[in-house]
Amino acid sequence: MRLKNRVYITEAGAVSAAGTGVEEFYRKLSALKSGIAALKRTCTAKLRTKIGGECRPEALIESLGIESLDCPPLAEKIFLYDNPKLLFALHCIKQIFDSGAFKKINAQNVKLFTGAGLEEIKISALMEPPERSARVCQEPPAAFLAEILSRFFRFGVPPATLVSACSASTMAVGEAYRNVKSGALDFAVAGGTDSMLSEFAVNAFNSIGALSEENSEPEKSIRPFDKSRSGTVLGEGAAYFLIESERGLEISGNAPVAEIAGYASSMDAYSPVQPDPGGLGAALAMTRALKDAAAAPEEIDYINAHGTATAHNDVAETAAIKKVFRHAAGGVKVGSTKPYFGHLVSAAGAIELLSVLYAFKNGCPPTLNFAEPGEGCDLDYSPEAGVKKRVSAALKNSFGLNGQNASIILKKTNGKIN
């Protein structure tokens, strides 16, 4: 019997500074509204960067209806306010369940693939005397996140966790695609979650020169590919997708909103904190993804770039796109949606894949704050509002620290998410 191994996205859930739920997320992108603002949950007195793409845990906990999880023997209770990564992931996946997409799917046949970040360290706890100190790390280890989520939603196939910095959630979706395409699975939930808006994380990113320190106008702080760009800004949140095979669609009755057509990864092996200046590793990931999709560069209408607004990434990514797309580069729209919600690190690729689904429905979202191209940045970065270029096929790039690269190709289908 022929394997029905084309791979589709049928539903999604999202939490970010640009909105909770797909519908609100789409509205914020359509309104060209940035969610970057002054940080409220993090003490910024000693930080050079005092802004970020913050979510509201209180509202999410109220909506979720639970404040903690029992998780023996790991912990007597895991309090969700102190574990925002877990909170964001729970909320996202519950959105997918609440949509009715699982009505005919047996959760025992579902495998979770999740991108995850490193555990957060509470610097203040290190400074307390032993008799008063709180736990230095209140989060469960990253390796436990997928198990906790799978147990909560009763997914019956052992989960997979990807810890590969800023490319983690794109790799999670890509590995889910490979498993479904191979016929090993008919159903997967894939995406990522992260929160690095702590004193420790912000200071760490400041120390490598990655963050903008322009705190006076937060919504204008991230300027990808622009001459005046000054660095990225961290965000937090999550996005997860229900991924199904053709055979899965027959079982679930769900409508596909996009086909995952190709995926690939690569390794720069250049520097822990900088991409290869010529974009060699990034170009290799894109080239391999196109080959996997059996697609020519001319077929891609839109590239959702990693686009961090850092000095090194934007030039290297532009060079990589020009290597791969050559003559097609002048006709493809390139954009970064990080100015809407910040850099979600391990969840960046997933929330930006949702931006691609937005583009299928509404046209390319403009790159906010882009005014004048920087040196070496000479592509069409979709600066104008109301870009209505028809998008039928798109490529999403994610490039992580240590040169971990991932590219994934989506094609539009006739289904709808909201």
User: What residues are annotated to the active site?
Assistant: 166, 306, 343
Residues 6+ apart with CB under 8 A from 159: 111, 112, 113, 114, 146, 147, 149, 150
Written in H, E and C, the secondary structure of 154-187 is: CCCEEEEEECCHHHHHHHHHHHHHHHHHCCCCCE
* Residue 56 backbone phi and psi in degrees, to 5: -115, 95
The residue assigned the tokens 């903690």 is 68
Instruction: Give me 154's structure tokens.
Output: 């009763």
Whole-number CA gyration radius for the chain:
20
93: which 2 tokens?
């996946």
Measured distance CA(378)–CA(249) in Å, rounded: 42
Determine the 3-state secondary structure of 394 from DSSP: strand
User: Pairing between strand 19-20 and 110-115?
Assistant: unpaired
Enumerate the β-bridge partners of residue 237.
194
Task: Provide, for the chain, the percentages of residues in helix, strand and coil under a 3-state DSSP scheme, each rounded to the nearest 5.
Answer: 35, 25, 40
Q: What are the angstrom distances between the C-alpha of 84 and each of 38, 115, 235?
A: 18, 14, 12
**How open is the CA angle 273-340-58, to the nearest 5 degrees?**
100
Find the helix or strand (DSSP H, E) in which 98 lies.
helix 84-98
Residue 274, Cβ neighbours under 10 Å: how many?
Answer: 17
Q: Where are the alpha helices (DSSP H) in 275-401?
A: 280-293, 311-325, 338-341, 348-362
- The residue type of 34 is S
| H or E segment and range at residue 194 | strand 187-195
Which stretches within 100-167 are classed as H helix? Answer: 123-127, 142-153
**Rounded Cα gap, residues 168 and 170, in angstroms:** 6
Q: How far apart are CA 167 and CA 75, in angstroms?
A: 29
